[in-house]
Structure 1
Amino acid sequence: MKLEKQTEIEQIFKKNYRVYCLLSYSYVSQWSVAEDIVQDVFVNLLTKKDNTILLNINAYVWRAIKNNSIKYVSRTKKNEPLDENCLSIPLSEEPIIEHANRASIIHESINKLPHGCKSVFELCALDGHKYNSAADQLGISVNTVKTQMKKAYKILRHDLKNYYLFILLLLEN
């Protein structure tokens, strides 16, 4: 049984190695690190003492590579030094004024949304509520929340053609 499992894992490794490396590379952006992550996942799988039977080894490996890649990125992001160029930018009032103008334009567009759309959008997009939570709070179905969010984004995309990218940045912060 152990030998069968080992040969099956080796076959999966040989067959999908490049695809797994590409998956990891899409997160870490360094080929050598991606290869290391893939190899570590397979070594851990082969040396695993827990004899639980994996129904889908390929899915397990895929998820493990993705998770290990994300862990690597989060660990290395904490250690990145600040960019010296961003520290040397002189502060002026113009960007602050421009930001305030953009924010007021965005808030005007949000206020122009139909009442139901506006309340759903504010709860989900601005306050960070999940669709289920917003539906419970407003006494409507989750599908209605989804529909109202689609409608709100469509209206805002049209109204804020020039500020579309700025909205995405605003919502991330």
Structure 2
Amino acid sequence: MKLQKQTEIEQLFKKNYRFYCLLSYSYVSQWDIAEDIVQDVFVKLLTKKDSTLLLNINAYVCRAIKNNSVKYITRTKKLETLDENCLFIPFHDEPIYEEINRASILQKSINNLPLGCKNVFELCALDGHKYNSAADQLGISVNTVKTQMKKAYKILRHDLKNYYLVVLFFLEN
């Protein structure tokens, strides 16, 4: 029974390896990491002591790959700083009559933030400070920094709702 399970898993691996790597890649955006995650999932599956058969092994593998990819992201997540090269792309149905200075739109929105939000946002998002460092520098608590960052993101999302932002952290809550 164990040999049959192992053969089934190996066949699934060989048949769907590229698909599984693409699934992981859609989360981690690094091909070598995606391959490692897929291989780790299959190694764990093969060495799993519980010999009960899974009803839908493909669904189990896809879910495991997704979960491991998300775990990888949360383990290695680092706040990247904004730079002047952030791109805004107008909605495709808006006519473009003149070139828009995209960096000035972002800067204008940041300048319109309430003072506390602006200071915290500039330290954390633009200068790359960690929340603890920003809290120490501003003489406020870490929870206040978190609250101000959430408030800043909410305001910026609202102000920039007509633009797609190529920076991922604006898509996060």
Give TM-score scaled by structure 1 length.
0.50
Q: Say if 1:81 and 1:49 are closer, same or farther in 2 by CA, change over 3 A.
A: same
Alignment of 1:156-167 (within 5 A): 163-165=161-163
Specify the SS of the correspondent of 2:48: coil
- Could you tell me which runs of 5 or more consecutive residues in structure 1 were left unpaired when the two chains were aligned: 87-92, 101-159
Q: In structure 2, do the counterparts of structure 1 residues 170 and 3 end up closer, same or farther at CA, with 3 Å as the change threshold?
A: closer
Q: Deviations for 1:51-91, whole angstroms, at most 9, x for unmatched residues? A: 122011111001000100000011000xx3653858xxxxx
AA aligned opposite 1:56: N
1:37 corresponds in structure 2 to 37
Instruction: Figure out how many residues of one structure are paired with residues of the other and give that number.
Output: 104
Q: CA deviation at 1:164?
A: 3.8
Q: Give identity over the alignment, percent.
A: 67
Trace 1:1-20 onto structure 2 (pairs within 5 A).
1-20=1-20
Per-residue CA deviations over 1:63-121 (Å, capped at 9, x if unaligned) read 000100000011000xx3653858xxxxxx95456457xxxxxxxxxxxxxxxxxxxxx
TM-score (norm 2): 0.50
Distance 1:163 1:31 in 2: 32
CA RMSD of aligned residues (A): 3.4
Name the SS of the counterpart of 1:7 in structure 2: helix
Residue correspondence of structure 1 range 4-153 to structure 2 within 5 A: 4-77=4-77, 80=78, 82-83=80-81, 85=83, 95=109, 98=112
CA-CA distance at 1:171 after TM superposition: 9.1
Change (3 A) 1:50 1:82: same
Structure-2 change in CA distance of 1:18 and 1:163 (3 Å) = closer
CA separation of 1:99/1:43 partners in 2, compared to 1, >3 Å: closer, same or farther? same
Provide closer, same or farther for how the CA distance between residues 85 and 165 of structure 1 changes in structure 2, counting only shifts above 3 A. Answer: closer
CA distance in 2, matches of 1:59, 1:10: 15
- Match for residue 126 of structure 2? none
Q: Higher relative contact order at CA 8 Å, sep ≥6: structure 1 or structure 2? A: 2
Moved over 6 A (4+): none
- Deviation of 1:20 (Å): 0.2
